[in-house]
Structure 1
Amino acid sequence: MTVQPLAPGVWGVLATPLTPDAAAVDTASLTRQVQHYVRIGATGLTVLGVFGEAARLTPDERRTVAATVAAAAPDLPLVIGLSALDAEAACAEAANVLDVLGRPPAGLMVHVGSPDPDAVVRQLNTVAERTGQGIVVQDYPVVSGVSIATADLVAAVRRVPAAVAVKSESSPSPPAVAALVAGLSVPVFGGLGGTGLLDELAVGSAGAMTGFSVPEGLLACVTAYREGGFGAAREVWRDYLPLVNFEFQAGIALALRKHSLVHRGLIDTPAVRPPAAAAPEALLPVLREHLARTPHASADRVGR
């Protein structure tokens, strides 16, 4: 197969908007969210990632999400997330959605499924060979439950010819990103809500792949770093960082970000599916304070 490394920049990780009772996917809101990413100039989109609650969607709902995004962003490259750690199950997830895209994805994002680099090589090569797609290797131990030493991950990715990128979300992220960049020829992206973005850029990351509710800030920071270096990016990023930190709270990050997206007019309701927790009511006024002071985020009702 012929694969291309992911382009550097900002790959937005999409939330999956739900109806108020969380019983179904809200495709109108999803379309509006995607169209916003198109308008602001995102490099690409990540569909069915952790932020997209993919593990809590039915196979039919995953197809709906993939088809909706592909139709709303016909010119943007798409990374499709796979939730399963087992290679066979991951291949089944991929087969369920690939036919509705209308074009090949830029890559399939696959969680590292073992701390053993040999097992990881078998896992990733199996998915690549069975699907015929490039692989974005996702190292996110908090979600997957799998911790792999960074040196072992480097060794594994080197043996995966179809690797097109690594998404590094192992804390602390900047040292991991630095080691991956030094040891690999494919681009390395940070995630974790953008909490380490500036430092990740400073050690060589290719950009951001995350679901921060104000992706304009991610784009501004990455562009400023590319054009003016660390100092310029720091000046830009400091206006967004309080909201980045507020949204990325363990256990309630998803709900907080969805509330932010509702505030911005990008989705209609903040509903999440268990085991995700709803946002505490006491924090919603604080969220509004942050949004009011964040560029692009104050009740602008974008897309309305």
Structure 2
Amino acid sequence: MTFEKLAPGVWGVLATPLTPDGSAVDTDSLAGQVEHYVRIGATGLTVLGVFGEAARLTPDERRTVVRTAAKAAGELPMVIGLSALDAEAACAEAENVLDVLDRAPAGLMVQVGSPDPDAVAAQVNSVAERTGQGIVVQDYPVVSGVSIATDDLVAAVRQIPAAVAVKSESSPSPPAVATLVAGLDVPVFGGLGGTGLLDELAVGSAGAMTGFSVPEGLIACVGAFRDGGFSAAREVWRDYLPLVNFEFQSGIALSLRKHSFVHRGLIAAPAVRPPAPPAPEPLLPVLLEHLRHTPHALRVAS
């Protein structure tokens, strides 16, 4: 079986909006967030990613998220994230949500579960064979706790016939992306909130797959690079970088981004689930200042 590689561009990683007390998924806000990505021309969407707090959702909530996002997305392709590191648990996660879809996803995103390339290939191939889906291989050691050498990741992905993309989030990301691009024939996307986006594009990345709260900037930067190269993309991206840097603060990035979405009118509440902490109160006025100076960050008309 052959699988279609992910198209280059911006694959928005969806936040999972919660009710103000954090007890349930806010499906109206989720649908509105998806519709915004459709309006601004995202290449595709990623649900149940790290930014989507997938590891903190119940199986029923994961089904609700996938069903809601797919209905609102229309024809926009969607990648579904899997949180588990071992193949058996990852397959169970996939089976829990795949039957709510009326069409196949663009891929399942599987995290690297071992530093050994042969073990990674066995893990990912097992998920692909049991689910019949293409795979986005995600290398995110800060979240997974697994660090794999980039050359070993290249060796692993070469053994995965179902690979449709790699999401590289091993810091520093630009040299990792450069090695992956040189060694693989599948697209490589950067993440990490867009912190390395311009440099990743310069070394050959296919675009971004991340949860920055002003995805219009990601789309503008990637489009400018495609049409005018590094200089054009740098000119566009520099106005977004202060907010990119501000939002990507260790431990509180998720809450800061949700507050940004609230101010933009894209979700109703900034609630996060433990162990994620709420954003520190002294930083909230600073966030507003960043939003005031960021293109496209004004409140989105409903």
Give the TM-score taking structure 2 as reference length.
1.00
- Following TM superposition, where does structure 1 have runs of at least 4 consecutive aligned residues deviating by more than 2 angstroms? none
Q: Deviations over 1:235-291 (max 9, x none)?
A: 000000000000000000000000000000000000000000100000000000000
Q: Which residue of 1 aligns with 2:38?
A: 38
Matches within 5 A, 1:168-179: 168-179=168-179
Deviation at 1:2, TM superposition (A): 2.1
Q: Does 1:181 align with 2:204?
A: no
Q: Deviations over 1:135-177 (max 9, x none)?
A: 0000000000000000000000000000000000000000000
- Root mean square deviation, CA, Å: 0.5
Provide the rounded CA distance (Å) in 2 between the counterparts of 1:101 and 1:51.
Answer: 21
Matching residue's letter, 1:64:
T
Q: Which residue of 1 aligns with 2:147?
A: 147
Provide the rounded CA distance (Å) in 1 between the counterparts of 2:246 and 2:192.
Answer: 12
- Check conservation: 1:138, 1:169, Cα contact below 8 A: yes
Matches within 5 A, 1:30-179: 30-179=30-179
Q: Which residue of 2 aligns with 1:271?
A: 271
Matching residue's letter, 1:192:
L
Q: Which residue of 2 aligns with 1:228?
A: 228
Q: Which residue of 2 aligns with 1:293?
A: 293
Q: Deviations over 1:49-91 (max 9, x none)?
A: 0000000000000000000000001110000000000100000
Deviation at 1:103, TM superposition (A): 0.6
Matching residue's letter, 2:63:
R
SS class of match (1:79) = strand
Provide the rounded CA distance (Å) in 2 between the counterparts of 1:122 and 1:49.
Answer: 22
Matching residue's letter, 1:23:
S
SS class of match (1:186) = coil
Provide the rounded CA distance (Å) in 1 between the counterparts of 2:301 and 2:156.
Answer: 43
Deviation at 1:102, TM superposition (A): 1.0
SS class of match (1:189) = strand
- Check conservation: 1:9, 1:219, Cα contact below 8 A: yes
Provide the rounded CA distance (Å) in 2 between the counterparts of 1:121 and 1:224.
Answer: 35
Q: Which residue of 2 aligns with 1:12?
A: 12
- CA gap of 1:268–1:210, structure 2 versus 1, over 3 A, is same
- Check conservation: 1:201, 1:207, Cα contact below 8 A: yes
- Check conservation: 1:177, 1:200, Cα contact below 8 A: yes
Provide the rounded CA distance (Å) in 2 between the counterparts of 1:128 and 1:197.
Answer: 29
SS class of match (1:128) = helix
Provide the rounded CA distance (Å) in 2 between the counterparts of 1:303 and 1:42.
Answer: 18
Quote the sequence identity (%): 84
Provide the rounded CA distance (Å) in 1 between the counterparts of 2:180 and 2:271.
Answer: 36
Provide the rounded CA distance (Å) in 1 between the counterparts of 2:104 and 2:74.
Answer: 12
Q: Does 1:203 align with 2:207?
A: no
- Check conservation: 1:79, 1:105, Cα contact below 8 A: yes
Provide the rounded CA distance (Å) in 1 between the counterparts of 2:90 and 2:124.
Answer: 10
Deviation at 1:115, TM superposition (A): 0.3
Deviation at 1:230, TM superposition (A): 0.2
For these two proteins, the number of residue pairs brought into alignment is 302
Matching residue's letter, 2:61:
E
SS class of match (2:105) = coil
Matching residue's letter, 2:132:
G
Provide the rounded CA distance (Å) in 1 between the counterparts of 2:7 and 2:152.
Answer: 25
Provide the rounded CA distance (Å) in 2 between the counterparts of 1:276 and 1:257.
Answer: 12
Unaligned 5+ runs, structure 1: none
Matching residue's letter, 2:150:
T
- Check conservation: 1:36, 1:303, Cα contact below 8 A: no
Deviation at 1:303, TM superposition (A): 4.4
SS class of match (2:230) = helix
